[in-house]
Amino acid sequence: MRPVLFPTTLAALFDIVEHQPDARLMAGGTDLLVRLRQGPADRRPLICLERMARLNGITTENNTVIIGAATPLSAIIADPLVQRHCPLLARAAATVGGPAIRNMATLGGNICTASPAGDTLPPLYLLDARLDLAAAHATRQVPIAAFITGPGRTDLRSGELLTAIRIPMAERFGLQHFEKVGRRNALAIAVASLAALIRLTPGGRVAEARLAWGSVGPCVVRCSEAEARLTGRRLTSETLRAAGAAARAAVTPIDDIRATTAYRRDLVANLPLRLGAAT
Amino acid sequence: MDPLQIGQSRPRGDAAAKVAGREPYAADAYPDNRLWARAVRPGVPSGRIVGLACDAALAVPGVVKVLRAGDVPGSNRQGIVHKDMPVLADDRVRCCADAVALVLAESPAAAAAGAAAVAVEIEPLPGVYDLDAALAEAAHLVHADRPGNLLARATIRKGDGADPLARCDVVVEGTFTTPVQAHAFLETESGVARLQPDGTLWMQVSTQSPFRDRFEIGHALSIPYDRIHIEAPCLGGGFGGKDGATVQCLLGLAALHADGRPVKMVWDREESFVAGYKRHACRLHYRLGARRDGTLQALHARIWYDTGAYAHLGAEVMELGMEHAAGPYRIPHALIEGWCVHTHNPTAGAMRAFGVCQVSFAFESMMDLLAQRLGMDPLALRTANALVRGDTNCAGIHLETSTGIKACLAQVARHPLWREREIWRRQAPPFKRRGVGLAAVFNAAGYGGGVRDAAIAKIEMDPTGHFIVHNAVSDMGQGNSSAFMQMAGHLLGQTADRLRIRQPDTRTAYPSGSSSAGRTTYTFGRALTFACETLKSRLLNRAGLMLFLQDDDDLVLEPDRVRHIPTDRSVTLAQLGAMMSAEERVCLGQFVAPTCKPVPDTATGFFIGFPHVIFSYSAHLARVEIDTLSGVVQVTNYLAVTDGGHVINPAMFHQQIQGGVAQGIGYALYEDFITHHGRVRTEDFTTYIIPGALDLPEIVSVACVEETEATGPFGMKGIGEVAMNGPLPAIANGVADAGMGRICRAPLTPERVLDNGVRAPATAQLQK
Ligand SMILES: Cc1cc2nc3c(=O)[nH]c(=O)nc-3n(C[C@H](O)[C@H](O)[C@H](O)COP(=O)(O)OP(=O)(O)OC[C@H]3O[C@@H](n4cnc5c(N)ncnc54)[C@H](O)[C@@H]3O)c2cc1C
C-alpha cells in the first residue's frame, strides 16, 4: 500500500515534499492513476491536491482570470467568469474525456501532463496563459509555451507545484473556435485539434488571428505564417485554404495507431475552412 | 398485479437485481480461503519452448505453486470440435496468447509477481501473420498436420455454379475486407473452482456452454464428465466469446493442485484482449451477375477467414458465413468458396452473427453496386429478388419456414426515414454530405445439420406453491431467462412474484446446449412450454383430487390457486405444494429443433452445421452525415425492421435489436482489433474504440410480424444475431450514396472516408 496524504495548506504540502522528496503529486488522478496501473508497483506516497483550498477556484484580478491549478474541468466549464472572458478554454475543456473524467480532471493536471493531445493546451497558448509555480521558498511565473518543453516534458522543477493559471482578459475576439477530431464523440484522444481566436474589423477583414493546432507535433503548434495569411483579409475559403496550407507545412505529426501522418496533415489543412462557415 | 402474458412489454425479471448490484456474477465470487490463478503468457506468437524455470517465481512470497504442461493430467488439449489448443503449451507456442505455466498464489498481486518471475526461454520460429503469407506456397505451417495452413476448405455449388456469369447482361465485382472485432463484454473471462472432497470438480464460471464445458474440461484434464459440476450464473456479456472454454481448463487444472482450496481466476482487460477469442478478419471477393431488368442470375463468392492459431469454431464460423454468402435473395446459380486459414494471430472464434456479418458487408455492397450499374432503385432491386417461402436459397435449401424479408423491405419503403430521404439529403449543412443506405440481411437460427439442437426444460413448484424455472441455457444479458419467466407465467397463469429462475447448474438442470446461435429462447423455450403444460395439467388434476371432483373439467389455474368455476371453490397452491411429493412437483419438457431432410448436395467440405432451416430476417436503413473536412461519419438515424416471428416481450425484443445495431455500428465505424506480427497492438480500450452514447443515433426498431414461426414457442424465432449484420453494409451504402465513394474496407474510419471520397479511386469497379 502506498501512503496517500491530504495536505490543506501550501506550508503543509511543502513540508511533506521536503521530508518525502519522492512523493508524487496527484490532482484528479485521471492521468496519474492510469500510468501507475501500468507502472512500477512502488510505494512512493501520493500527495493529493484536492483539499488545498488555495488551488481550487476561479477569481479575477487586474484584468486577469486566475484559475486554481486543482480546479476540476467541469467547474471551469460552468464558471461564468470563464464563459465570459475565455469561452475558448471552456469549449476545449468540454471536449476532454466524458462527464465523469471532467469532474475529476484538473486544468493543472492537463498542463503538467503536457500531452501533445492535451485539449486545453491550444487555447491556453492562444490566450497567453501564464503559470504560477511555487516551491518551498520561491515562486515564479512562466508563459505556458515556455513551460511545456516536449511531449510529457515540462519545466516543472523538483519540489515545485503549479498553483494557478493566469489568463489575461484580452480584447474580445468575435470569433472563438475550437474543434477536436477524435475517433469518437466523447472519451476520445485528439487526432488533431484547432483553436482559433479571430477579431474582425467592422468591414469584415481580419484584424488579428491566432491559430493553434493540437496533437500534430511534440507541442502545440502556433503557426504565425498561417495567421499572417489571414490578417487583413476576409475569411474566404481561399484565404483559409492558404492558411491551412501554411500550417500543413509547419506541423510534424506522428504516425500512430489512431491515425497516419498524412491524415493528420489533411486535418490541419482542412479544419480552418470551418471558420468561413462560422462567420 | 396481473399474470405474466406473452406479447407484453414487462420489465425484465433480472432488472431490479442488476440495477441494485445484487445479481451474482461469476466474477463476484470470492470464496473463503481462495487461491488466485494466473497464466504465464510469454507473448511470442511462434516459437519453441527451450527453457522454463520456475524457481524465482516459487520464491515470490505468496506464490504457492507453479504448474507446467507436465502437471496437466489429461490430453492437455482443449477445443470444441477440434481438440488442438494446449491448456499449457508443452513444446510449441503458436500465438501470443499461449500459456506455458499457471501460477497459484495467495493474492492477485503475488500471482502477478510470480507470473512475471517465471523465466521462459523461447526460440523464435518463422510465422505467418496474414492470409497471403499463410496461403503462399511452402508457407511455414502453423500445425504440421494441416497442410496449406487450411483448417477447412469448403464449397457450395448451386445450379451451374459460377459459369452463368459469362452470360449475364451485367456483372459487378468487388473485394472487401473486414476487421477483427473483440466482444468487449463488461465482465471479462472469470470463474472459481474447487476439487470437492468426493473428487468432483466444481466450478462457477462465466460461460455460455455449461454442459458442453464438462466435455472440454474432461478431455483436457482427464476427468469423467459426470465428475464435473458447473454452475453458470448470469454473464456480464458473452456475445460468443464465452462459448467454449476460456478460464475453465486452467481453473480446473489449478483446482486439481490446490489441495481442496477454491481457486479464482479473473482475466484483466489486457489478458482478455490477448487471450479471448475474436471475430474473424475476412477477405471476400465477389462477382455478381444479373439480367438487365435486375433479376439476379449468378454469384461467385470467394471468402477467406483468418482463423488464427487454433481451431475453436473457425470452420463452423466460415461455413455459416458461406451459407449466407448470397444474402436473402433468390439466385439460381452460385459458387461459394471458403478457406479457413490458420495464422499465428490470436484465435478467432464465435461472435454474434458468427461469420455472417462479414459476408453481409460484401453482398449488400454488391447489391448497391448493381443497382447503381443498372440505374435501379436499391430498394426495388432488393425487393424484386427477395426470398419468399417456397424459394430455394443460395445454399440450395428449400424454404419451408417463415421468410419475412419482403415484408421487412415493404415496411422500410413506407417509413418516413426512407420516403423523405431526398429532402433530408438536400438540407445538409456546410461541409457535410448526407446519404441513406440500406441493407437486407438474415441470420440462421440453431446449430444446423449434423448437430443435435435440443433442450430439456425443467419447472418446479416448491412446497409453498411458488414456481422455479430451471434454466439450462446461460443468460448472458440477452434476457432469455426473463422470456422463460414470461412463458411460464403465461402458461401457468401466474404473476411475476410467484416465479423464480435458477441459472444453469449441471447438477439440477438438464443438458440443453449452449447459449448461442439464436437458439436460446427458441429451443429451450419450446421445451419449457411442454414442461409448463404438463405441470399445469398435473396441478389441475391434484386440485380436482383435493376438491373431490368427478373429473378435472372447469378447473382453472390462477395466481396462487386452482379454482373450480361452477362452485367457486378453490385449492391454494400452498395447499397443493404441501400435499404433493417432491417428484410430483417437478415437470420436464423436451424439444428437438427441426432439421433439414433431405440435405441438398450443394455443399462439400463441410464438417458439421449445414444446413439451417430457420432464419430471421431484417431490413435496415441508415442515414449518415459525413464531414467533408475530417471524414468523420455520424449515423444520424437508424431503422431496423426485423422478422423474428411472434414477439414474446416487445421491450426486450427492441433492446436486442438496438444492442445488435449498436455493436454493428461499432463494427462499421470504430472497432478494429489490430495485431502486428501476431502481437496485439490495441491492448485495451484506449486504442480499441467502441462507440459510446454520443456516437449512436436513436435506433428505431420495428417488429415485422406478418408470419409467425410455427415451430417456435408462441411463434417466435431468435433475433439475437441478425441485427449485427445490417449496420456495416447500410452505413457503407449510405457513405457511397452521399457521394463519398464506395469503401470496401471496414471499419470506415475517418481517414479511409476522407482518402476515398477525396483522393483514391474506389476499389470496387464495375465490369462490362
Ligand atoms: C478516460 C480518459 C479520457 C481522457 N480524455 C482526455 C481528453 O479528451 N483530453 C485530454 O486532454 N485529456 C484526457 N485525459 C487525460 C486527463 O484526464 C487530463 O490530462 C487531465 O486534465 C489530467 O488532470 P488530473 O487532475 O487528473 O491530473 P493527475 O492525473 O492528477 O496528474 C497528472 C500529472 O500532473 C501532475 N500534476 C497535477 N497537478 C499538478 C500541479 N498542480 N502541480 C504540479 N504537478 C501536477 C501529477 O503529478 C501527474 O504527473 C483522459 C483521461 C482518461 C482516463
Q: Is A78 on the interface with B (CB under 8 A)?
A: no
Same domain, B569 and B606: no
- Among B205, B231, B266, the domain-final residue is B266
Residues listed for chain B: 768
- Please indicate, yes or no, if residue B743 is contained in any of the structural domains: yes
Q: Is the pLDDT of residue B528 over 60?
A: yes
Number of domains in chain A: 3
Q: What is the CA angle A167-A243-A214, rounded to 5?
A: 45
Give tens-digit pLDDT for B82-103. 999 999 999 999 999 999 999 9
Mean predicted confidence (pLDDT) in A202-209: 96
What is the rounded distance in angstroms from the CA atom of residue A113 to the CA atom of residue B129? Answer: 37
Q: Is the pLDDT of residue B424 over 60?
A: yes
Mean predicted confidence (pLDDT) in B8-24: 94
- Indicate which of A184, A216, A236, A275 best probes the interface with B, i.e. most B CBs within 10 Å of its own CB: A184
Mean predicted confidence (pLDDT) in B15-44: 97
Q: Is the pLDDT of residue A156 over 90?
A: yes
- Range name among A26-40, B44-58, B433-447, B570-584 with the lowest pLDDT average: A26-40
How far A207 CA sits from the closest chain B CA (Å)? 25
Mean predicted confidence (pLDDT) in B516-520: 96
Confidence class for position B764, pLDDT limits 50, 70, 90? very low
Helix (H, G, I), strand (E, B) or coil at A201: coil
For B267-389, list the strands marked E by DSSP: 281-290, 296-308, 333-342
Q: Which bin fits B475, alpha (ψ -120 to 50), beta or left (φ > 0)?
A: beta
Torsion, Cα of A65, A68, A70, A75 (10° steps): -50
Cα separation of the two ends of chain A: 56
Which class for A158: exposed (0-12), middle (13-18), buried (19 or more C-beta within 10 A)?
Answer: exposed
Same domain, B236 and B309: no
Same domain, A66 and A153: yes
Q: Is the pLDDT of residue A279 over 70?
A: no
Same domain, A203 and A120: no
- What is the structure's pLDDT at B759? 52
- The closest CB to that of A181, out of B674, B691, B750, belongs to B750
Question: Can you state the percent helix, strand and coil of chain B, rounding each to 5?
Answer: 30, 25, 45
Give tens-digit pLDDT for B533-551. 999 999 999 999 999 999 9
Mean predicted confidence (pLDDT) in B11-21: 93
**Do the Cβ atoms of A127 and A76 come closer than 8 Å?**
no
Helix (H, G, I), strand (E, B) or coil at B548: coil
Q: Is the pLDDT of residue B201 over 70?
A: yes
> What CATH number is attached to the domain comprising A108?
3.30.465.10
Same domain, A70 and A161: yes
Same domain, B652 and B744: yes
With beta carbons under 8 A apart, name residues in chain B contacting A186: 692-695
CA-nearest residue, atom 32 of ligand 1: A109
Same domain, B571 and B621: no
Of A112, A166, A189, which is best to mutate to test ligand 1, by the most ligand atoms within 8 angstroms of its C-beta? A112
- What is the structure's pLDDT at B758? 62
- Please indicate, yes or no, if residue B159 is contained in any of the structural domains: no
CA A41 to centroid of chain Cα atoms: 30
Same domain, B541 and B642: no
- Please indicate, yes or no, if residue B762 is contained in any of the structural domains: yes
Same domain, B464 and B551: yes
Q: Which bin fits B631, alpha (ψ -120 to 50), beta or left (φ > 0)?
A: left
Q: Is the pLDDT of residue B46 over 70?
A: yes
> Which of ligand 1's atoms lies nearest the C-alpha of A32?
29
- Among A109, A142, A168, the domain-final residue is A168
- Please indicate, yes or no, if residue B606 is contained in any of the structural domains: yes
What is the rounded distance in angstroms from the CA atom of residue B324 to the CA atom of residue B313? Answer: 17
Same domain, A182 and A271: yes
Mean predicted confidence (pLDDT) in A17-24: 95
How would you classify the pairing of strands B228-231 and B201-205? Answer: parallel
Give tens-digit pLDDT for B28-39. 999 999 999 999
Same domain, A132 and A164: yes
- Among B219, B238, B266, the domain-final residue is B266
Same domain, B482 and B362: no
Range of the domain at B545: 15-23+454-592
Mean predicted confidence (pLDDT) in B165-179: 98
Of A34, A56, A110, A160, which is best to mutate to test ligand 1, by the most ligand atoms within 8 angstroms of its C-beta? A110
Mean predicted confidence (pLDDT) in A70-83: 97
Same domain, A38 and A133: no
Give tens-digit pLDDT for A85-136. 999 999 999 999 999 999 999 999 999 999 999 999 999 999 999 999 999 9
**Do the Cβ atoms of B352 and B720 come closer than 8 Å?**
yes
Inter-chain touch B674–A266, beta carbons under 8 Å = no
Q: Is A184 on the interface with B (CB under 8 A)?
A: yes
- Please indicate, yes or no, if residue B138 is contained in any of the structural domains: no
Number of domains in chain B: 3
Ligand 1 centroid–CA B416 distance in Å is 46
Give tens-digit pLDDT for B547-591. 999 999 999 999 999 999 999 999 999 999 999 999 999 999 999
Closest to A254 (Cα-Cα) out of A189, A196, A191: A191
With beta carbons under 8 A apart, name residues in chain B contacting A187: 692
Q: For B397-550, where are the alpha helices, taking DSSP H only? A: 405-414, 416-419, 421-426, 480-492, 525-546
CA A89 to centroid of chain Cα atoms: 8
DSSP assignments along A64-127, one per residue = EEEEETT-BHHHHHH-HHHHHH-HHHHHHHTTSS-HHHHHH-BHHHHHHHT-TT-TTHHHHHHT
Inter-chain touch B629–A186, beta carbons under 8 Å = no
CA-nearest residue, atom 51 of ligand 1: A30
What is the rounded distance in angstroms from the CA atom of residue B649 to the CA atom of residue B58? Answer: 54
Mean predicted confidence (pLDDT) in B4-21: 94
Q: What are phi and psi of A13, to 5 degrees?
A: -65, -45
Q: What is the CA angle B434-B439-B440, rounded to 5?
A: 155
Same domain, B616 and B546: no
- Please indicate, yes or no, if residue B197 is contained in any of the structural domains: yes
Same domain, A87 and A151: yes
Q: Is the pLDDT of residue B326 over 70?
A: yes
- Please indicate, yes or no, if residue B3 is contained in any of the structural domains: no
**DSSP classification of residue B465:** S
Mean predicted confidence (pLDDT) in B368-373: 98
Q: Which residue has the cell 462465466?
A: B206
Beta-carbon contacts of residue A99 (< 8 Å; ≥ 6 apart): A74
Confidence class for position A158, pLDDT limits 50, 70, 90? very high
β-strand partners of B588: B458
> Which of ligand 1's atoms lies nearest the C-alpha of B686?
1
- The closest CB to that of A277, out of B109, B430, B691, belongs to B430
* Mean of per-residue pLDDT scores for chain B: 96
Beta-carbon contacts of residue A51 (< 8 Å; ≥ 6 apart): A6, A7, A8
Same domain, A193 and A250: yes
Closest to B472 (Cα-Cα) out of B448, B502, B516, B517: B502
- Among A141, A168, A195, the domain-final residue is A168
Mean predicted confidence (pLDDT) in B293-307: 98
- Among B543, B566, B592, the domain-final residue is B592
Mean predicted confidence (pLDDT) in A173-191: 96
Range of the domain at A31: 4-47
* Mean of per-residue pLDDT scores for chain A: 96
Same domain, B633 and B576: no
**Do the Cβ atoms of B465 and B652 come closer than 8 Å?**
no
> What CATH number is attached to the domain comprising B234?
3.90.1170.50
Same domain, B418 and B558: no
Cα dihedral sign for B125, B126, B128, B129? positive
Q: Is the pLDDT of residue B767 over 60?
A: no
Same domain, B432 and B292: yes
Closest-approach residue (CA) in chain B for A270: B629
Same domain, A156 and A188: no
Same domain, A84 and A160: yes
Q: Which bin fits A80, alpha (ψ -120 to 50), beta or left (φ > 0)?
A: alpha
CA-nearest residue, atom 38 of ligand 1: A109
Q: Is B759 on the interface with A (CB under 8 A)?
A: no
Same domain, A17 and A81: no
Confidence class for position A34, pLDDT limits 50, 70, 90? very high
Report cis status (omega within 30 of 0) of the bond before A151: no
**Do the Cβ atoms of B360 and B726 come closer than 8 Å?**
yes
Give tens-digit pLDDT for B394-422. 999 999 999 999 999 999 999 999 999 99
Same domain, A70 and A160: yes
- What is the structure's pLDDT at B436? 98
What is the rounded distance in angstroms from the CA atom of residue B71 to the CA atom of residue B250? Answer: 11
